[in-house]
Chain A
Amino acid sequence: MFAEPPQNGGYMLAAYIVTPVILGGYWVRLWRRNANLKRREREEQLPKR
């Protein structure tokens, strides 16, 4: 006779939400750093023209 697996899907769900939040959050951070860098470069070039 086989035992029923324990009901613990909530823990799995939490881990499956946290992981893309951290990794996606880091991607957004890198993207924003790049956008800020470009914006500052553009602003610095404006008065020279």
Chain B
Amino acid sequence: MEQYGNADRIIRRGLRLSAVGLLGLLLVYVLALKYTPVEVRQGVAQKIFYLHVPAAWSALLAFSLVGLTGALYLWLQDPRLDRFAAASAEVGVTFSAVMLTTGPIWAKPIWGTWWTWDARLTLTLFLFFLFVGYLALRAALHDPAERARFSAVVGILGLLLVPFIHLSVYLFRTLHPQPIVLKPSAPSLPPEMLRTLLVSTLVFTLLYIGFVTARYGLALAAERRELEEGSDVR
């Protein structure tokens, strides 16, 4: 019962941290618009890169951690792991929404189409649907142990898709460009672009941590309420 007392503090900390992250987004905008040069072939639309790539990073980080904590839950049966997985899945879906909207907005002026059914885009969309399904499954199951067990399995299946998404640009013929930072050789970006991308990635990671902390605290507070209601009935 003692752990539930921390819920309000955890929520406040998460909301503050993510508010700082949202302010950090302003810094990213200033860096992207004032500091980085305009790419000659793509024009200013290339600056979508500083939002799209960090959003993709945060979404894949979130979904990977859902799978890892799901696997750990099946082993250790610790409810904190399940609570974290649920929080990370919801936040991952939010970042996926950013990735799946900024991607087509960038694709239209560069590829001439909003969407193409190539390997990376299709797998990313499947991953998004899989985790929307994960959240629907959690909402449909009421027994906490059953909900944690079933959703851990779905989370692990989602984790298996993540390396395929990263490697899809090497494995299949695709319109999507190959990685320019996370690759075996040195990043092939001018220093201003690389620095802005790194700042943006830090800001998106901070947002991820803040959102997950707040969401975790909310789950804890909801459990506290259920427990109090149960003790009132008894």
Contacts and interface: CB of A to CB of B under 8 A. Distances in A.
Given A6-B43, A8-B45, A23-B22, 16 more contacts: A5-B42, A8-B42, A8-B109, A9-B44, A11-B45, A11-B109, A15-B51, A16-B48, A19-B98, A23-B25, A26-B91, A27-B18, A30-B14, A30-B215, A31-B15, A37-B225
Nearest to A18: B101
The 4 closest A-B pairs by CB, nearest first: A6-B43, A5-B43, A8-B109, A8-B45
Contacts of A40: 225
Interface size class of A (residues with CB under 8 A): 20 to 34
Contacts, number: 97
A48 to B, nearest CB: 9
Given A8-B44, A15-B52, A15-B106, A34 B218 contact: yes
A2 B94 contact: no
A40 B225 CA distance: 9
Contact of B218 (A12, A14, A19, A33): A33
Interface of A: 2-3, 5-9, 11-12, 14-16, 18-20, 22-24, 26-27, 30-31, 33-34, 37, 40-41
B22 A5 contact: no
Q: Which applies to chain A's interface (DSSP): helix, strand, loop or mixed?
A: helix
Contact of A22 (B18, B39, B42, B94): B94
Contact of A26 (B94, B102, B221, B222): B94
B214 A30 contact: yes
